[in-house]
Amino acid sequence: MDQQLQVDQQQLVSAWQERLPSFMDDGDSYSVQPDEANRKSLLIHFNAAGRQSYSLDFRCTYVDSREVAVDLLDVEKAGLHTDERTDAVQQLAQRYTRQIHECAQDLKGLTNP
């Protein structure tokens, strides 16, 4: 049975802002915003800690009430667009993708009551 997401987007954004830090590494910062183009999506921006000054933008879309699809949208280094195929970026992208999935799992009580 297909479980459509029934949660208000703003409520979802608030829940993510509250829960995401518990899955993140010390020093990393983030922001969560609603995706104006899709009410089932959130835009999540990560700033990686450390001297590399990487920032990564993801779209997290609820496929249904239990599952999210995560897409890497953009990578910047010190404010400039950078190649997302480098090892350093790939490792960051994998880590943040895992953190997004872990947070989505943690919020299942809200999205899949």
- Tell the residue number behind the tokens 């830090």, with chain if given: 21
Report strand pairing: 41-47 vs 29-34.
antiparallel
Q: Which fold does the domain 9-111 belong to in CATH?
A: Alpha-D-Glucose-1,6-Bisphosphate; Chain A, domain 4 (3.30.530)
* Residue ranges per structural domain of the chain: 9-111
**pTM for this one?**
0.92
Amino acid letter, residue 52: Q
Q: What does the pLDDT look like over 9-65, one tens digit per residue?
A: 999 999 999 999 999 988 999 999 999 999 999 999 999 988 778 999 999 999 988
Contact 73, 54 (CB under 8 A): no
